[in-house]
Chains A and B, each alone.
Chain A
Amino acid sequence: MGLIENRFEKNVLVTTVDSVLNWARTSSMWPLTFGLACCAIEMMATGSAHYDLDRFGIIFRATPRQADIIIIAGTVTKKMVPPILKVYNQMPDPKWVVAMGSCATTGGPFKTYSVVQGIDKYLPVDVYVPGCQPRPQTLIASLVHLQDKIKAEHTIAKK
């Protein structure tokens, strides 16, 4: 995107291209499988048959190179932070971060020496999903919220 990003005034042509880009991005958000603890089970349940995520275009990818969003699902210990950063840095732009569950949001019930009190101390979080664990409907609602956030972005038009 580099050369044309944020360069042009908002006119009819550019806003249409932006909305096409946003449509493409929201319709195929591919998360990186990053289940750490119990929230991973709920994430798997959301991805499975009953609360299908595939109908939103959300397919879980095991490699960060092909992922758009990273859903931090579970308790983040201090020992886990270097791998998370390594994997996050390997994701290409544009990327978004969803902090799922109480532990990823604020450390959850674990205010201890080994747990990071919220992954937003290390990563720029776009959507926080409350719950312990959040029900599949909550996770789906948060991903739809992320879609709304992406739709409001201007990539080509100046902000």
Chain B
Amino acid sequence: MSRSIAPKLVEKIKLEFDDVILDISRFQEQTTVCLKAEHTRQVCEFLKNEKDLDFNLLLDLAGAHYPDRERDFEVIYNYYSLTHKHFLRLKAQIKGDPPRVATISDLWKAADWLEREAYDMYGIIFEGHPNLKRLFLDDSWIGFPLRKDYPLEGRD
């Protein structure tokens, strides 16, 4: 059902950004590209503007926290191309405190609130975002609940 991107197009991405990509994997017809978060913006622009790839639909943007890793935060982008009908997943691995990555909300409007959600739950700062405020929690809330070190019952 999920049509994965053709291997030669994956090669194209790999050639263009060889020094930045950490890993490319394919599992059950789904291709995932892991890269260093500092270069997210260039890779995303390439994915959108390159005619062969043409990823014009951002399906989802999610945050993740892996406290045991050096690059402990991650932003996961799920892309789809309406013209070529193929999918791709991008995982941008972030290190730093607070974790920062460039915004893509000017390229894909959907990213606006999705990045706000990732900020609200993980504290990942999207640089260049027009309105990076909390989305679900109260504006006065302190802390980022979906981080692994935040207790389920909350802190009071």
Contacts and interface: CB of A to CB of B under 8 A. Distances in A.
Interface residues of A, number: 6
Contact of A114 (B137, B151, B155): B137
Given A112-B152, A113-B151, A113-B153, 15 more contacts: A78-B138, A79-B136, A79-B137, A79-B138, A111-B153, A112-B153, A112-B154, A113-B145, A113-B150, A113-B152, A113-B155, A114-B136, A114-B137, A114-B145, A114-B154
Interface of B: 136-138, 145, 150-155
Interface in A102-144: 111-114
B136 to A, nearest CB: 8
Interface of A: 78-79, 111-114
A5 to B, nearest CB: 39
A113 B151 CA distance: 8
Contacts of B151: 113
B133 to A, nearest CB: 14
Contacts of B155: 113
Contacts of A111: 152-153
10 contacts: A78-B138, A79-B138, A111-B152, A111-B153, A112-B154, A113-B153, A113-B155, A114-B136, A114-B145, A114-B154
B156 to A, nearest CB: 9
Nearest to A78: B138
Contacts of B136: 79, 114
Nearest to B145: A113
A112 B154 CA distance: 6
